Amino acid sequence: MAFSRRGERVNGHPLTYLDSGATAQKPLAVLDAERDYSLHLNAAVHRGAHTLAAEATELFEDARHAVARFVGADDDEIVWTSNATEAINLVAYAVSNATLGRGGQAAKRFALRPGDEIVVTEMEHHANLLPWQELAARTGAALRYIPLADDGTLRLDLAPGIIGDRTRIVAVTHVSNVLGTINPVADLVALAHAAGALVLLDACQSAPHLALDLHALGVDFAVFSGHKMLAPTGIGVLYGRRELLSALPPFLTGGSMITTVTMESAEYLPAPQRFEAGTQRVSQAIALGAAVGYLSAVGLDRIEAHEALLGQRLVAGLGQIEGVRVLGPGLGRERVGLASFEVAGIHSHDVGQFLDDRGIAVRVGHHCAQPLHRRFGVTASTRASTYLYNTEAEVDLLLTGVADAITFFGAHA
């Protein structure tokens, strides 16, 4: 497979890239799609009447169609954003606007009141926690969370006592970016909808690795980022059920998302354009369309199986190294192809630096999930995350590197 950075050397060693959970490398087909657009069709979309603008708009909307098909959605349920963080904030601030009375009668269904509750989980990335903290502070709603069990799974036995009549929004990650846990989305959706609550799914760590059908999952909103699934940075996606997007008031306002403007008021386009104010991320969206085409051609079933194998190899190998503690589901438990771990007596940054000296790229720190790390009694961990381009041999290089790091630093359990 022809990917960016593949075959290169880092610090005199062949690059072993195990940080795809943060940002994936890109196939040449994706790089070529963005470059070809910039070279031959660069123009403003949905604005100009000339041929170049029309062709750019067609490619831009073709990408929307490709992404919608990839996740089991309809074209008008896909909103372009800069990243998943922006997409979550879009929903949170739109709900805040509805709470202020914006959006008219249709938006009243989203309004929050003191005593209402927003539910998240203890494993959320900060991007799916902070926007809800802020929304609760602005509206007087309470923020609650589903705690974690010691094995890194959700305490589903406690969920029925947390998701209840006062719950208005449930925001949950599909796959933990730290633990690799795959959450039981269907169970959570059933609980939330029985309580009359809306569900937002953070699919950043699932969309690149697992076959998604958002209609079948029954979630109300979902978000994911292009840069984790072979596309460039600067492009993300908000999925929303058509009837919800049509009723939700806009968050960002300005050009290209209106029908009529006077000096006193404005009327807005239907979704998704009502949420796409200003000049859009055209080349990035086109590249994301190429990326999902690439992933579809490879086959998400094949990708999922390959990464599950690598994930189990990671957990098994790390579990055999004295002084290493893997966070999350253990060997034989369902997980994606990543593992975060603590090495007794060695700070994660030192582990990461030692591995980097051997050309092995991993993530170190709290991975934007401080509450999760606090739950497991650590301030930081080392994370190795695989993708379709990684091999068992590369996992073995990591395992050897971790064992050698323990010897080098003189650490022991």
Looking at residue 222, its amino acid is: A
Distance CA 198, CA 50 (A): 42
Active site residue 368: yes
Distance CA 131, CA 85 (A): 9
Distance CA 10, CA 40 (A): 34
> Are domains 9-27+300-409 and 31-296 of this chain identical in fold?
no
DSSP tag of 76: G
DSSP tag of 227: G
Q: What are phi and psi of 360, to 5 degrees?
A: -100, 115
Task: List, for residues 246-263, the tens digit of each pLDDT value.
Answer: 999 999 999 889 999 999
Task: Give me the helices (H) in 71-143, please.
Answer: 84-99, 130-139
Exactly one of 368, 376, 396, 411 is catalytic; which is it?
368
Start-to-end Cα distance in the chain = 40
Q: Per-domain residue ranges for the chain? A: 9-27+300-409, 31-296
Tokens of 44: 């403003």
DSSP symbols for 311-355: HHHHHHHHHTSTTEEEESS-TTS-B-SEEEEEETTB-HHHHHHHH
The pTM of the full predicted model, rounded to 2 decimals, is 0.96
Question: Could you read off the pLDDT tens digit of each residue along the chain, which spans 413 residues?
Answer: 566 666 688 899 999 999 999 999 999 999 999 999 999 999 989 887 899 988 999 999 999 999 999 999 999 999 999 999 999 999 999 999 999 999 999 999 999 999 999 999 999 999 999 999 999 999 999 999 999 999 999 999 999 999 999 999 999 999 999 999 999 999 999 999 999 999 999 999 999 999 999 999 999 999 999 999 999 999 999 999 999 999 999 999 998 899 999 999 999 999 999 999 999 999 999 999 999 999 999 999 999 999 999 999 999 999 999 999 999 998 888 899 999 999 999 999 999 999 999 999 999 999 999 999 999 999 999 999 999 999 999 999 999 999 999 999 986 54
Q: What are phi and psi of 333, to 5 degrees?
A: -90, 150
Half-sphere exposure of 233 (CA within 13 A, CB side): 3
Nearest to 95 by CA among 125, 68, 120, 131: 131
- Topology of the domain covering 31-296: Aspartate Aminotransferase; domain 2 (3.40.640)
Distance CA 271, CA 354 (A): 49
Q: E-strand spans in 55-204?
A: 78-81, 117-121, 142-146, 167-173, 198-202
Distance CA 270, CA 259 (A): 9
Answer whether 373's CB lies under 8 Å from 178's CB.
yes
Q: Which residues pair with 142 in a beta bridge?
A: 117
Q: Is 9-27+300-409 assigned to CATH 3.40.640.10?
A: no
Residue 413: the pLDDT is 47
Nearest to 373 by CA among 353, 338, 350, 348: 348
